[in-house]
Amino acid sequence: MVNVKRISAKFTAIQVTTVTLMLSTLLASQGAGAAISLDRTRVILDGEARSVTLTVTNKNKALPYLAQTWIEDEQGNKIQKPLLALPPLQRVEPGAKGQIKVQVASDMEKLPQDKESVFYFNVREIPPKSTKANSLQIALQTRVKLFYRPAAIHLDQNSKPWEQITLTRQGDKYVVHNPTPYFVTLTAVSPSAAGSKVAGFIPVMLSPKADVTLTGSAKAMGNSPVLTYINDYGGHPRLAFGCAGSVCSVKSSLAG
């Protein structure tokens, strides 16, 4: 997620129009022009470890940037407990790296210990103040999902709980059932491993032990739908389903 957080300038009407066009082009691609980059697209905080270290890199080879970090709850409110990001602000030299620790703060016992909880980790780059007149400065922000995974549901590398997901056809819709204690984000559906993505499908994050009706036509998804999901490492593997009547279960896992 990239947000424009600051624009400081003095422009004529013509200059503003030009800048607007340039800015639209800049933001057409997420993260375009970002100086501060994060080393992952999602964060998993394992309850056994109680902390996780992230790396940010200043891709600008000429200028230092500040990296401001914070955590939000599921509703988008800034929080400092039960999770905390440290340091909240740091200077990252040109071409250098910095580290951020996300750790358990307090009130962790108030979170469910039998299923995951979701938060959002944010890092905003703050450029050095420009000394040039009529300058345009933008602050780009990255926002990624942060999952707290309690020790009681720790996963090893060979675990594949996502394969427990099932589909039930109801009319021209599929209802997906997530019986696991983990969040699962579905990004695409196709009628087969070699088929094209189904039009009208909107990516969705399944909460633990929840049912969600998928957008898009069940007819277009067919009787052997393939769902793409995001794993712990940001990869996009696929789940190939086989259906018996109106109920479908995972038959195999496919590489993304």
Asked if residue 124 and residue 39 are part of one domain, the reply reads yes
pLDDT at 5: 40
Instruction: Give the CA angle between residues 26, 140, 45 to the nearest 5°.
Output: 130
Asked if residue 128 and residue 41 are part of one domain, the reply reads yes
pLDDT at 22: 41
74 lies in which domain range? 13-153
pLDDT at 139: 82
| Cβ-count burial 157-170 (b if 16+ within 10 Å, e if not) | eeeeebeebbbbbe
Give a yes or no: residue 3 inside a domain: no
Is the pLDDT at 185 greater than 90? The verdict is yes
pLDDT at 34: 84
pLDDT in tens, 22-55: 444 444 334 456 899 999 999 999 998 999 999 9
Give a yes or no: residue 192 inside a domain: yes
pLDDT at 114: 97
pLDDT in tens, 96-110: 999 999 999 888 888
Helices (H), 180-249: 218-221
Give a yes or no: residue 1 inside a domain: no
- 213: CATH: 2.60.40.10
Return the structure tokens found at 60.
Answer: 């600008």
| pLDDT tier, 14 (very low <50, low <70, confident <90, very high otherwise) | very low
- Range list of β-strands (E), 88-165: 89-92, 97-104, 117-126, 141-149
Give a yes or no: residue 85 inside a domain: yes
Of 87, 120, 153, which marks where a domain is finished? 153
Q: What is the number of structural domains in the chain? A: 2
DSSP assignment, residue 13? H
Give a yes or no: residue 205 inside a domain: yes
User: Is the torsion defined by CA of 75, 186, 171, 164 positive or negative?
Assistant: negative
156-165 contacts, C-beta under 8 A, 24 or more apart: 160/253, 162/229, 162/231, 162/239, 162/250, 163/239, 163/250, 163/253, 164/250, 165/206, 165/227, 165/239, 165/250
pLDDT in tens, 107-162: 888 899 999 999 999 999 999 987 777 777 788 999 999 999 999 999 988 889 99
The percentage of residues in the chain with a pLDDT greater than 90, rounded to a whole number, is 77
Residue-averaged pLDDT of the chain: 88
